[in-house]
Structure 1
Amino acid sequence: MLTIKKAVSTLQDEEIKSYLTLILAGIGELKEQYGQLERPLEEHIAKPVAGLIEQYSSLMSLPAQRAFWDPAPDSTHIHILCGDSFGGSVKQVLKEFGWTGAHKLIILRENYAVGPLGRLDTPVGRKLRSDWFRRHINEYFTVSDECEREYTELLDNLEQIPEQAKIILWTGGNACEQTGLRLIAHLLGNRPSEIIVCDACAICEEQYNRPDALINYVHSGEIPTDKLREALLRINEGRRLSAADIMQLSREWQQIAEQSGVLRIWQDDAVLEVPADYYDNYLLEKLDSLQPPPGDDGFLKSARLVGEALGYCEQYVGDAYFEHRIRELIYSGVLEIKGVPTAMRFYSIRRKQG
């Protein structure tokens, strides 16, 4: 696997596309050849090949799966939300309610709490954001125009929203969803549709929290499906945005987009830019509080530190950003490393000795 990763890391974006196209074409031929046999696939070919064909089928079906949830002319409700995790939960509830014919989704897949947002409405700004993620986030494998394609798809989906459809903007008490809310308000502009803002986290906390059992959801993606049902049943109780509300949110988006930083938090009902190293001391405090495994010379798996930081952080940041800052602390000599920083599970860290 390490040899494969090393080889892939030497490829340019266009080379990756070319190789992937050829590989998928070959797997498609395998599927066509063996799919016509009567006995189960595993009886004719090795399980790894069967697994490849299964992955191929899954990948090929993704466009159709996404298209099913796109706005349609007869849609009555369009849900706009942040994150595939939350989106998947909403889809499941909509299916349970039998609402999939009239309720459609637009999913913002980026974490707007991190990364530059300046001039996001221009190709230059989107390239700057995409480049930053490729330089700093280990698991960001997107090709150079991924951000561009996502943004174009978002604009296309917004354009497809029929006038009669209610627009439900889902948000929560975190910088990612609140920034996404302001971006969408900016892009919607003077659209005549009724626009409702719903906070799924607040609804579920109000409905289910008790003095002896309190859960504060940092991000809507944390809400279990059984509790999310209540939030969808109460969408008509959400805050209806006036034209003045939309203008205010749009102005707030423009202020955010004028900033040059790469990290944002939600504080005092506002999206605030903070320094990139805002969580460094927090990470070091968590590291000092954790007990390294015996016999490992004081080194602790970076994944354990990231998990601890995520579990106690009152803001939604994401594991990728915490891991990015751990690597920055390594580069600056604050931490020592054992292993290879290609992914969290492959290396351990400790305070710099001596």
Structure 2
Amino acid sequence: MKELRSIKKAVDSLGHAELRSYLSFILAEIKLLRDQAESREDSIAKLLELYDGLMGLQQQRGFWNPVPACTHVHVVIGDSFAGSMKYALKELGWAESHKVITLRENYAIGPLDRLDSPEGRMARSDWFRDHITEAFEHYTEVEEEYSELLDNLAQIPEQARIMIWTSSNACEQTGMRHALHLLQSKRNTLAVYDACVICEELYNRPDARIEYRRSGEVPPDKLKEALLRMEESSTLNNAELMRLVREWEAISEQTATLRIWRDGAVLGVTADYFDSYLLDKLDKLKPPAGDHGFVKAARVIGEAIGYCNQYVGDSYFEYRLRELIYNGTLEIKGLPAAMRFYSVRRKRQQDKADS
């Protein structure tokens, strides 16, 4: 189990370009194995070398921890954006002086009450265990990661400029406020940046526009340009810092386990907020011929993610799809162990009458 968690961390730390590169190599080697175009021993050796290299990247995470001589520390939300940030900093030649701290929580979902206490983190872990099929991590690992986060924040030297990155979604906006809550006693200069906004201003044209929903969607090459365009005007004064800290306190005291970003604020909403939206996406999908109206759960969730103007993550949509099965709105074919293993359809009226 510990080894599997290490593998998950290693994969999560990669950027999109690196993930594609690794996947392409693995699939090519598997094809050679299947076609017997290369000796089994050579292919296995290459795959083992790839594995050792990937796990080595995981072990080198400490390279990005703050050091006494660093001049900038980037605080980012999510492993996907962290991978892109590290790649961009390396490309710019800034890796020695610019360090990265990653907050790995999906702040859009789950309870946040007393997150700074072991009891609060345990309650959050329990919620994930009970509702999110693939996202639960063992409590001891959560504690280790939180301790590592606090250690990294404590290691930031006084001369370093701390740059917290966010974008227009509940996950990163809440995470940014939590980061400021944890950093409020530091004497460093604090600044908040939005890579999505910077890149949209740099690259969008009347005839070609991209609107990013989260920082992890920004390609590393565009992120490089965003890093070069950072402005001192993003520095927070004390009043702004205290306002954002108070907003974190208010958000964390809410009982809601789902949060959205609307009109410049993080709002707690009911757990079933997206249920009608999911059903609408299901109704608009054409079921495969001969499948009796059933549609793969992964297809429904992919459609929901593709058109949703909020970012909550696919695991939350999958949780709500299962809830719609449990309450009799949908019926299932297959096993709900993971979204790729089952299909759903609206429960037929006759079935409802018989139940």
Equivalent in the alignment of 1:8: none
Q: 2:295 aligns with which of 293, 297, 300?
A: 300
Q: CA deviation at 1:128?
A: 0.7
- Tell me which of 343, 346, 349 is aligned to 2:341: 346
Partner SS for 2:315 = helix
Q: Please tell me whether residue 80 in structure 1 is matched to residue 75 in structure 2.
A: yes
1:20-76: CA deviation from partner (whole Å, max 9, x where unpaired): 99xxxxxxxxxxxxxxxxxxxx9795956874675356335523x210000010000
Deviations along 1:245-279, one digit per CA (max 9) or x if unpaired, are: 11111111111111111100111111110000000
Paired residues of 1:330 and 1:336 also in contact (CA < 8 A) = yes
Between the aligned partners of 1:50 and 1:18, the Cα distance in structure 2 is: 20
User: SS in structure 2 opposite 1:145?
Assistant: helix
Structure 1: runs of 5 or more not aligned: 1-15, 22-41
Partner letter of residue 117 of structure 2? T
The equivalent position to 1:259 in structure 2, one of 254, 268, 278, is 254
Moved more, 134-143 or 333-342: 134-143
Partner Cα distance (1:95, 1:73) in 2: 19
Alignment match, 2:310:
315
Q: Is the 8 A contact 1:197 1:238 kept in 2?
A: no
Query: 1:203: how far off?
Result: 0.7
SS at structure 1 position matched to 2:344: strand
2:230 aligned with 1:235, yes or no?
Answer: yes
TM-score by length of 1: 0.85
Q: Does the aligned pair in 2 maintain the 1:138–1:343 contact within 8 Å?
A: yes
Q: What is the distance in 1 between the residues matched to 2:3 and 2:210?
A: 47
Match in the other structure for 1:6: none
**Distance in 2 between the 1:71 and 1:19 partners?**
27
Secondary structure (helix, strand or coil) at the match of 2:231 reads helix
Amino acid corresponding to residue 249 of structure 1 in structure 2? L
> SS where residue 349 of structure 1 aligns?
strand
1:333 alignment partner in structure 2: 328
Q: Distance in 2 between matches of 1:49 and 1:100?
A: 31
Partner of 1:58: 54
| 1:213 corresponds to | 208
Which shifted more, 341-350 or 229-238? 229-238
Partner letter of residue 275 of structure 1?
Answer: T
Query: Within 1, Cα distance between the matches of 2:288 and 2:211?
Result: 31
Contact 1:263 1:276 in 2 (8 A): yes
> How far apart are the structure 1 equivalents of 2:104 and 2:203?
28
- Which stretch shows the higher mean deviation, 309-318 or 47-56? 47-56
Partner of 1:10: none
After superposition, the C-alpha distances for 1:292-323 in whole angstroms (9 at most, x for unaligned) are: 11111100001111111111101111111001
How far is 1:226 from its partner?
Answer: 2.0
* Counterpart-to-counterpart distance in 2, 1:73 and 1:319: 39
Equivalent position of 1:37 in the other structure: none
In the TM superposition, residue 237 of structure 1 has moved relative to its aligned partner by: 4.2
| Compared CA separation, residues 195 and 329, structure 1 to 2 (3 A) | same
Residue 190 of structure 1 contacts residue 243 of structure 1 at CA under 8 Å; is this kept in 2? no
Higher mean displacement: 222-231 or 140-149: 140-149
Q: Is the 8 A contact 1:198 1:238 kept in 2?
A: no
CA distance in 1, matches of 2:311, 2:3: 36
- 1:278 is aligned to 2:278: no
Runs of 5+ unmatched residues, structure 2: 7-37, 350-355
Q: What is the RMSD of the two structures over their aligned residues, measured on CA atoms?
A: 2.1
Which residue of structure 2 lines up, in the alignment, with residue 224 of structure 1?
219
CA contact (8 A) 2:125 2:136 kept: no
TM-score by length of 2: 0.85
2:4 and 2:152 map into 1 onto residues whose CA distance is: 30
Partner residue of 2:16? none
Counterpart secondary structure, 1:329: helix
2:187 corresponds, among 185, 192, 197, to 192
SS where residue 96 of structure 1 aligns? Answer: helix
Report the number of matched residues: 318
Partner of 2:138: 143
Sequence identity percentage: 58
Q: Secondary structure at the match of 1:119?
A: coil
Asked if 1:287 is matched to 2:269, the reply is no
Task: Note the C-alpha offset of 1:174.
Answer: 0.5
Q: Rate the CA distance shift 1:159–1:203 in 2: closer, same or farther, 3 A.
A: same
Q: Kindly provide the CA deviation profile for residues 204-256 of structure 1, in whole angstroms up to 9, marking residues without a partner as x.
A: 11111112212111101011122212211122345111111111111111111
Distance 1:113 1:104 in 2: 25
